[in-house]
Amino acid sequence: MLNLSLILDQISYYKYLLVFLFSIIEGPVVMTFCGFLWRNEYFNFLPLYLALMAGDLTADALWYSVGYFGGIKFIEKYGKFFNISEEKVLKFKNSFHNHQTKILFLSKITMGFGFALVVLIAAGISKVPFKKYITINFFGQIIWTLLLMFLGYFFGSIYLIIDKGLKIGFIIFMVLFVMFLMYGFNKYMQSKSKI
């Protein structure tokens, strides 16, 4: 028989590791939700902030590696699964020659205006020096993580003042709202780039 209390204790013990792993998969949503949990005193700020930054930067390094080692062949074979075309990657690849720092930093603090994944892979394909790549992303990550955590913190403040019966509905609404905003923003920026 499962001991629920023991399971919750184990999850609590590994909560920062779990934050790290989940932020590799979906950084922005996890950052916002963790800001909400931080406001409600489930996390301490500094270890949470560092775990979120480390997870998102790990994802950046992985996508860079995909571009560096997989190149255009990866895009041709698997790009359709990530909504990435060879044309988009080559467009950014050509821009990297003159504007590496600007493109990487703006991509990090704006979710790439809908092209974050394309930018990360294009950086690898363009053989941007990894040290430069990760340094620029690190400084952008400082801002991006704080911004999303404080967005979640704001929602957490609202959560504390609403009626007890509405709290679960509010959490579901908040998660869906943030996901919708990020998805909509990405789609909007991608459609603008086609005009």
Tell me the per-residue pLDDT of 28-69, one tens digit each, with 9 for 90 and over: 888 988 888 888 788 999 999 999 999 999 999 999 999 899
Question: What is the Cα–Cα distance from 102 to 150, expressed in whole angstroms?
Answer: 25
Does residue 130 surpass a pLDDT of 80?
A: yes
State the pTM of this model.
Answer: 0.73
Q: What pLDDT sits at residue 1?
A: 44
Residue 22, both tokens: 């989940």
Residue 27, both tokens: 């950084």
Query: Where are the chain's structural domains?
Result: 29-194
Which has the higher per-residue pLDDT, 65 or 83?
A: 65
> What single-letter amino acid sits at 62?
L
